Amino acid sequence: MEQQAGLIAGRPLAGTATRAIEVHADDRGSFAEYFVDGVDTGLDPRQWSVVRSQPGTLRGMHVHLGHDEYISPIIGHCYVGLYDLRPESPTVGEWALYELSAHDPIVLTFARGTVHGWLVDEPTVHLQATSSTYTDYGSDDNNGCHWSDPELGIPWPFEPTLVAPRAAGFGSLAELRARVLSDVRR
């Protein structure tokens, strides 16, 4: 696999894609096309969301079996950690760390079954799209593992100061893997 824009550690995982956003700027401000149907990175979005995060926030690590995701900061800067949990994937058990910034915008998409989280070091707003709506899946498709599990291997650049209580209570990657594999076999 070739190098991907924004990748700062690890290697590209199967089912991930990036696309640099062209920004047209002048004295009035700027214009950028974040999603163009048929041109983008393979995601067929069913829901768009805007996520605001404070510095020090880590969102994740979580995994969805029911949808693919798309993220790109429109204000601020973040690090996105990915871990491939898909048993059929050629990159199963591998990880990647991306750096995304509104100043040099990149779209990152990743496939269902990819454990993911993002760590924010300044006030950040990002676009998030999913290939199914949140009302189309239940809590059984919103599992996670602790962000600092050594088995993930993700070299986060700093330790988060804000983690949701639910995410702080996530178990190990091994527990997540066992839970996800049992769900897939049902």
Q: Please, are residues 95 and 153 in contact by the beta-carbon 8 Å criterion?
A: yes
CA distance 111 to 66: 10
- Residue 56's DSSP bridge partners are none
- Does the pTM surpass 0.85? The reply is yes
Domain boundaries, given as residue ranges, for the chain: 7-185
CATH of domain 7-185: 2.60.120.10
- What is the per-residue DSSP string for 70-91? EEEEEESEEEEEEEE--TTSTT
Strands (E), the chain: 7-10, 17-20, 23-26, 29-32, 47-53, 57-63, 69-75, 77-84, 95-101, 106-110, 114-120, 124-130, 143-144, 162-163
* 70-116 tens-digit pLDDT: 899 999 999 999 999 999 999 999 999 999 999 999 999 999 899 99
pLDDT band at 47 (very low <50, low <70, confident <90, very high): confident
